[in-house]
Structure 1
Amino acid sequence: MTKFLGPIAGFGVTFSTMFKKANTEFYPEEKTPTAPRYHGRHQLNRYADGLEKCIGCELCAWACPADAIFVEGADNTDEERYSPGERYGRVYQINYLRCIGCGLCIEACPTRALTMTNEYEMADDNRAGLIYEKDRLLAPLESGMVDSPHPMAPGTTAEDYYRGTVTGGAAPASQDEPEADDTAGDRP
């Protein structure tokens, strides 16, 4: 009798779960919110006027245990200023085929230029598409920001940027542009 009931007893689990309501997630249509401190896609942040926070120090690349980050720094000039300091990250790449999402790069960044967003949908059918360049990592421009390169806000120093006292606003117009002539409307 036990030879006969043995296989049927094994189906007890199957029969008990067969009539339960299925726990289906409608993922693409209904997204479950992530935790506030979720480690998702990286983002290169900007100051309030649009200058980049990355100073090209390469500490994030050195801290990465998976060697997924490549940074090449360059010097700022008065004509082309990308960050308030002396240097900026000219080349910035994160290889998401290697990234393990540990967040050590975030902790190593001295200017809080690199943070992680809650974005987790990074699947791609092309391996080259998972190597994010600087243009895909930079934070989008908000209202009042001007895309770099542009000069620092008038009357500010690099220390003002690092202290967070610079507010948003457009950079001054370049000297190459002619100023508007107010008397032009009075002429016949």
Structure 2
Amino acid sequence: MGLTDFLNPVKGFGVSFHQMFQKSETVQYPEVKRPTAPRFHGRHQLNRWPDGLEKCIGCELCAWACPADAIYVEGADNSEEERYSPGERYGRVYQINYLRCILCGLCIEACPTRALTMTNEYELADDSRESLIYTKDMLLAPLREGMEAPPHAMRLGETEEDYYRLGLQPEESAHGASSEGSEHQ
């Protein structure tokens, strides 16, 4: 038995000894909260279009993707008098049961309209089982300035496609301006 055989266990305890002599950091949790990572998986949020219409089209793909069966969606048809989303349908009933939810994010990946995202809110504990079943009203993003609560007519375009092409407009106008400038030269 050589000297290296004796030093190997001591070297293995190096991390433990290093941690023992470091000053521990105590966070006064209820008053002071540690910031979460930008892609933290917290409470869900149903997003809105810039005019206030809901992005959820009631397709139920999030409910099908959920391995814990924590999401319940019931879709309904939009009408011209009562329009809640730009598409043909909207999520009339939307519930997430946080007693079952494992915050995996598979529902976010399944959503075709990016209607469902996860916030950085992680304080979900409660003393009542009923209050941990979040309804559509609790999950909807708050109305910002310039938004109108649905139901109302589409304001960002004539058709459903106009809403889904909103992100392309600045790029199209930039490409159009550069091609027009090259034609005049």
TM-score (norm 1): 0.75
Larger mean CA deviation between 24-33 and 101-110 belongs to 24-33
Aligned residues: 151
* Contact 2:143–2:149 (8 Å) recurs in 1: yes
Please state whether the residue corresponding to 1:93 is helix, strand or coil.
strand
Q: Deviations over 1:93-136 (max 9, x none)?
A: 00000000100000000000000000111111100000000000
Q: Which residue of 2 aligns with 1:145?
A: 147
Quick one: which of 124, 127, 142 aligns to 2:126? 124
- Larger Rg computed on CA atoms: 1
Measured after TM superposition, the shift of residue 21 of structure 1 is: 5.5
C-alpha RMSD of matched pairs (Å): 2.1
Cα distance between partner residues in 2 of 1:144 and 1:135: 19
Stretches of structure 1 that go unaligned for 5 or more consecutive residues are 1-16, 168-188
Of Structure 1 and Structure 2, which has the larger fraction of its residues in helix?
2
The 1:20–1:124 alpha-carbon spacing in structure 2 relative to 1, beyond 3 Å, is same
The 1:154–1:124 alpha-carbon spacing in structure 2 relative to 1, beyond 3 Å, is closer
Equivalence map 1:80-91=2 (5 Å)? 80-91=82-93
Please state whether the residue corresponding to 2:163 is helix, strand or coil.
helix
Q: Which residue of 1 aligns with 2:172?
A: none
Equivalence map 1:97-176=2 (5 Å)? 97-153=99-155, 155-164=157-166
Runs in 1 of length 4+ with deviation above 3 angstroms? 19-23
Cα distance between partner residues in 1 of 2:99 and 2:156: 42
Cα distance between partner residues in 1 of 2:159 and 2:103: 34
Stretches of structure 2 that go unaligned for 5 or more consecutive residues are 1-19, 170-185
TM-score (norm 2): 0.77
Cα distance between partner residues in 1 of 2:53 and 2:75: 15
Q: Which residue of 1 aligns with 2:29?
A: 27
* Contact 2:44–2:118 (8 Å) recurs in 1: yes
* Amino-acid identity (%): 77
* Contact 2:41–2:119 (8 Å) recurs in 1: yes
Cα distance between partner residues in 2 of 1:39 and 1:81: 31
One-letter code aligned to 1:64: C
One-letter code aligned to 1:111: T
Q: Which residue of 1 aligns with 2:175?
A: none
Please state whether the residue corresponding to 1:71 is helix, strand or coil.
strand
The 1:22–1:125 alpha-carbon spacing in structure 2 relative to 1, beyond 3 Å, is same
Cα distance between partner residues in 2 of 1:156 and 1:122: 40
